[in-house]
Amino acid sequence: MFPKNQEIKEVMHFLGTAVCEFTVSNKLIENLNNLIDTKLNENCLVNYGYELAGRIENEFDILKHLDHSMLEEFNIYINHYLQKTEEINKIKNYVLLSCWFNDQKENEYNPLHVHFGHSYAGISSVLFLKIPNAIYQAKGKNNNEEPKDGRLEFVSGNQSYCGRYNKIVHPQIGKLYLFPYYLHHTVYPFKGEGIRRSLSFNIDLIK
């Protein structure tokens, strides 16, 4: 169950569209990592890494293994996002279409891309589950440039004067980002040991 005393906190980023940043419960992070590690040890997950546009070897479907408490907490954030973006009254229902995780290693990356579902309207997500020290310790080429190693970047096509068309996200364990299918995003490679684990799901909106 979602902790009743946990306040839902979100940060909105507007890039011609809305990206909502949540901090999920520690219990959800612990349970997801335990589930993933258990299923990896059992060697029972389907690897879709070969279907990626980028170079991430290990991408696994986890949808059918999620339990009720995990889905319940996801639903809380999804509903909150729909309310914040004033979409809640425009849809009849939504469907959790897919859920997967990436275990990204050194030099792997995912190029600029968007997500798709069965509906033209939908919500995508990124939730950070594990971050190696190599990413935290990465530095920019100079003092005026923020590091991009292992970072997630959102890129909007709506560039305007005094506007912002991109947002670089510095990964933090427990941060969840919700955004529309059509928003372009990319994941940069990193140098060093360890696994950068992120989980994503796609939600079809039924209008």
Place of tokens 């310790």: 137
How many whole angstroms separate alpha carbon 66 and alpha carbon 84?
Answer: 26
* CA 115 centroid distance within chain: 11
Instruction: Give the pLDDT score at 12.
Output: 79
Better-predicted residue by pLDDT, 101 or 86? 101
Q: In this predicted model, what pLDDT tens digit does every residue of 153-195 receive, in sequence order? A: 999 876 666 667 789 999 999 999 999 999 999 999 999 999 9
Long-range pairs for 145-151 at CB < 8 Å and ≥24 separation? 146/170, 148/188, 149/188, 149/189, 149/190, 149/191, 150/104, 150/187, 150/188, 150/189, 150/190, 150/196, 151/187, 151/188
Instruction: Give the pLDDT score at 1.
Output: 45
What are the phi and psi torsion angles at 179 (to 5°)? -160, 160
Q: Report the share of the chain in percent with pLDDT over 70.
A: 92
Q: How many CB atoms lie within 10 A of CB 24?
A: 22
Q: In this predicted model, what pLDDT tens digit does every residue of 26-45 receive, in sequence order? A: 999 999 999 999 999 999 99
Non-local (6+) Cβ contacts of 12 within 8 A are: 18, 19, 20, 21, 84
How many whole angstroms separate alpha carbon 12 and alpha carbon 20?
Answer: 5
For residue 92, what are its two tokens? 């009849």
pTM over 0.85: yes
Place of tokens 């959102």: 154
- Domains of the chain and any CATH numbers: 10-206 (2.60.120.620)
Q: Is the pLDDT of residue 206 over 70?
A: yes
For residue 196, what are its two tokens? 């950068």
How many whole angstroms separate alpha carbon 191 and alpha carbon 134?
Answer: 7
Instruction: Give the pLDDT score at 97.
Output: 94
**Helix residue ranges, H only, 94-184:** 133-136
* CA 63 centroid distance within chain: 15
For residue 113, what are its two tokens? 């891309």
- Identify the helix (H) or strand (E) that includes residue 113: strand 110-113
